[in-house]
Amino acid sequence: MSGAGGAGAVDLDAWPHVFEPGDRDAPVLLTLHGTGGNEQEITALVPHLWPGAGVLSPRGRANEQGMTRWFRRMGEGVFDVDDVIVRAGELVAFVAAARERYELGDRRIIAAGFSNGANIGVATALLHPETLDRVVAFSGMYPFADRDPLGDVSAVELVLLNGAADPMAPSASVDRLVEVARAHGATVERHVRPGGHGLAQSDVDAAREWLAAR
């Protein structure tokens, strides 16, 4: 069965993903794995973030030396920005197709991503706020390098959860994300913990509190 019709439609049967409906009065969490991860393992986060939430968990479709990713990069921390933009558009089409197939109606979809998944979640919200307007970004960074392709993102709310000494998502890049997103109207909350790249219990706790407030 194909997804939503029209330009940019995707075939959900050709895009590996997990869907669990959860409670009808709860949001659906769009879980986005990190480099080398998959659509199955990231779903374990959901009960810790919003018990009863639905789960929509696609697999990244880029490949780097056998590792699954969301978009291409030229080196560590050096993203192919054109590919980021294209892949964000593909994720929008995936969400539209899933909303139709799984009859999600007006249920809110909130992204929760780790590392590379956080980056594609942030990129998608900042480029397509009409599709995705809330993102929990664990160990993410600014996904557009030295470019600023954004319009009005005043509907977008981001929570950024990072380690202070993360070489893979440097504080300078997170600073840039905060600056650019806020300049275009987004609401951004930032939490910084000691340590580096990863997902700490304090990150999960802060994310759960942030979600509960919404």
Q: Is 166 considered catalytic here?
A: yes
CB contact at 8 A, 39 and 57: yes
pLDDT(214) > 90: no
Q: What pLDDT does residue 76 have?
A: 73
130, two tokens: 């009409």
Among the listed residues 57, 115, 139, 173, the single catalytic one is 115
Whole-structure pTM value: 0.94
Question: Can you say whether the dihedral through the CA atoms of 113, 116, 121, 125 is positive or negative?
Answer: positive
Question: Given this structure, which CATH class describes domain 12-212?
Answer: alpha beta
Q: Give the chain's mean pLDDT.
A: 94
Q: Which is catalytic among the residues 128, 184, 191, 197?
A: 197
Question: Which residue in the list 33, 133, 139, 166 is annotated as catalytic?
Answer: 166
Mean pLDDT of all residues in 14-28: 97
Clarify whether 152 is annotated catalytic.
Answer: no
pLDDT at 1 over 90: no
Q: Is the predicted pLDDT of residue 79 greater than 90, yes or no?
A: yes
Q: Which helix (H) or strand (E) holds 161?
A: strand 157-163
For residue 42, count other CB atoms closer than 10 A to its CB: 23
CA-based nearest residue to 142, from 128, 155, 164, 158: 158
Residue 115: active-site member:
yes
Region 79-98: mean pLDDT is 97
